[in-house]
């Protein structure tokens, strides 16, 4: 008999901000997107005040001041590291784990002697060791576990942080499912939910009881499988190894628009450095480097420059990739425009071991490979961009606007939290 848990950090980004700031317990918090543009996360207290996710920040700035809401720029270094720590603790509790997103993982609980006791224990353990509150949903399929997690967080009467479908008799479970909108089912996005509602299926129970053949004909095999999973038939297993990415994208808006070539070049170099790290992490090599730079599509001079630069042979070497990207940037750069965003994309990725040597160009220098490995190791240890190419460092001030970012407490020696013994 299969049994899955879906563990999810509650208001994850806001919770991360609190780990090193216990004075913020119980305070409303919102976290802003890159460039401080809109709200991407809110604590329960802020949600209770009516803050909507993904609303533009300027609309609510006044409201934040009036209610004393603490506003943070997003600190993905902190969130990423807290995620890594939380996942490591959870992995100790189950034989199998699929990290599904920055704050969610599936765990394989089949064969656990007392899954409910385990769920409470995991919750306690993450809270005690990491300081992040989590919710746990348990069910016979991944889809049921995911829906149980929603119940554990949001359905009145069941929102204590752990919910297990097996607590309910079949008719009680159906009654509860009839209260959950079909859009809350894993894999049913807003568009599909709207289509299902046109066909009279507006809650999870409706989907569970729908005719499988009809679901497959009218919609897809995937939806047929989702319905089977709602019936407790497990069709999806844990995907413990992340699939290698087909392409790697790195791009970002500028804090302030710029027409300066050196600033664009520094940004492109930075993006290549990040993308190169990811590429080497998945042991891939890229054959094509795409470069883009654009102005505001709503401004007077809408311009989107994009070009693809092929490499002589697939490479994972940041120096090679940067050289290609900067030559692409020179091609698309138009003087006098004010650029808002620049980015790179690495394409035609192949496993590094399988790359073919080009007969007409020199074999890659093995010392360069060691150099990349050393750079990655140093940057992992001492923080991103600790070691970088000069092209990235020439113009440091292109980076995004993040006026209110918290320190990287857990990843930077110079930003460690200080404990002070007041006399």
How many angstroms separate the CA atoms of 248 and 147, rounded?
31
Q: Does 8 bind Mg ion (CB under 5 A)?
A: yes
Does 103 bind Mg ion (CB under 5 A)? Our answer is yes
19 or 210, CB closer to Mg ion? 19
Which window, 5-13, 68-76, 207-215, 402-410, contacts Mg ion (CB under 5 A)? 5-13
Least distance to Mg ion, CB of residue 126, Å: 13
φ, ψ dihedrals at 324, nearest 5°: -65, -45
Our CB check for Mg ion shows the closer of 151 and 207 to be 151
User: Any contact of residue 13 with Mg ion (CB under 5 A)?
Assistant: no
341: which strand partners? 253, 294
| 103's tokens | 């704050």
Cα–Cα–Cα angle for 75, 247, 84, rounded to 5 degrees: 35
Other residues' Cβ atoms within 10 Å of the Cβ of residue 137: 26
Q: How far is the CB of 200 from Mg ion (least distance, A)?
A: 31
Give min distance, CB of 201 to Mg ion, in A. 26
- The nearest distance, CB 47 to Mg ion, in angstroms, is 12
| Least separation in angstroms between CB 35 and Mg ion | 23
Task: Please identify, among the stretches 102-110, 238-246, 289-297, 381-389, the one whose residues bind Mg ion according to the rule CB under 5 A.
Answer: 102-110
State the number of binding residues for Mg ion (CB under 5 A).
4
Does the protein bind Mg ion through residue 45 (CB under 5 A)?
no
6/286 with CB nearer Mg ion: 6
Torsion-angle region of 320 (φ positive above 0: left; ψ -120 to 50: alpha; else: beta): alpha
Q: Which residues pair with 164 in a beta bridge?
A: 138
Among 4, 12, 72, 163, indicate the residue that binds Mg ion (CB under 5 A). 12
Helices (H), 32-114: 44-48, 57-67, 76-91
Among 9-17, 35-43, 191-199, 338-346, which window interacts with Mg ion (CB under 5 A)? 9-17
Asked if 158 touches Mg ion (CB under 5 A), the answer is: no
10 Å CB burial of residue 124 (0-12, 13-18, 19+) is exposed
- Collapsing DSSP to helix, strand or coil, 379 comes out as helix
Q: How far is C-alpha 352 from the chain's CA centre?
A: 25
| Interface with Mg ion (CB under 5 A) | 8-9, 12, 103
């Amino acid at each position: 008999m299969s049994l899955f848990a879906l563990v999810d950090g509650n208001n994850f980004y806001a919770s991360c901000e609190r780990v090193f700031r216990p004075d913020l317990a119980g305070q409303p918090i919102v976290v802003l997107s890159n460039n401080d543009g809109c709200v991407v996360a809110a604590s329960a207290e802020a949600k209770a005040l009516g803050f909507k996710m993904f609303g533009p920040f300027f609309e609510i700035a006044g409201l934040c001041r009036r209610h004393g809401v603490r506003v943070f720029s997003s600190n993905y270094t902190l969130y990423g590291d807290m995620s890594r720590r939380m996942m490591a603790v959870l992995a100790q509790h189950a034989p199998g784990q699929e990290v599904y997103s920055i704050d969610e993982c599936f765990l394989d609980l089949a064969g656990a002697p007392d899954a409910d006791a385990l769920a409470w224990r995991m919750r306690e353990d993450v809270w005690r060791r990491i300081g992040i509150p989590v919710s746990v949903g348990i069910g016979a399929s991944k889809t049921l576990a995911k829906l149980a997690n929603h119940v554990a967080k949001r359905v009145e009467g069941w929102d204590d942080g752990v919910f297990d479908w097996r607590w309910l008799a079949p008719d009680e479970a159906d009654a509860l499912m009839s209260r959950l909108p079909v859009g809350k089912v894993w894999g049913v996005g807003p568009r599909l939910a709207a289509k299902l509602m046109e066909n009279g299926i507006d809650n999870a129970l409706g989907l569970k009881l729908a005719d499988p053949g009809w679901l497959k004909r009218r919609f897809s095999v995937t939806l047929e499988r989702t319905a089977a999973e709602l019936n407790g038939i497990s069709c999806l297993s844990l995907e413990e190894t992340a699939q290698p990415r087909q392409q790697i994208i790195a791009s970002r808006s500028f804090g302030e628009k710029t027409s300066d070539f050196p600033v664009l070049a520094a940004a492109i170099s930075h993006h290549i450095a990040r993308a190169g790290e990811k590429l080497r992490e998945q042991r891939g090599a890229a054959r094509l480097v795409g470069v883009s730079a654009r102005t505001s599509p709503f401004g007077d001079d809408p311009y989107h420059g994009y070009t693809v630069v092929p490499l002589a042979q697939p490479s994972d070497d940041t120096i090679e990739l940067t050289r290609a990207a900067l030559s692409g940037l020179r091609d698309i750069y138009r003087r006098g425009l004010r650029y808002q965003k620049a980015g790179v994309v690495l394409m035609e990725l192949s496993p590094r071991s399988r790359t073919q040597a080009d007969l007409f160009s020199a074999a890659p220098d093995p010392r360069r490979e060691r150099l990349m490995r050393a750079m990655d190791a140093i940057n992992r240890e001492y923080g991103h961009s600790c070691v970088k190419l000069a092209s990235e460092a020439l113009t440091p001030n292109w980076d995004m606007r993040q006026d209110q970012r918290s320190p990287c407490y857990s990843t930077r020696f110079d930003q460690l939290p200080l404990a002070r013994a007041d006399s």
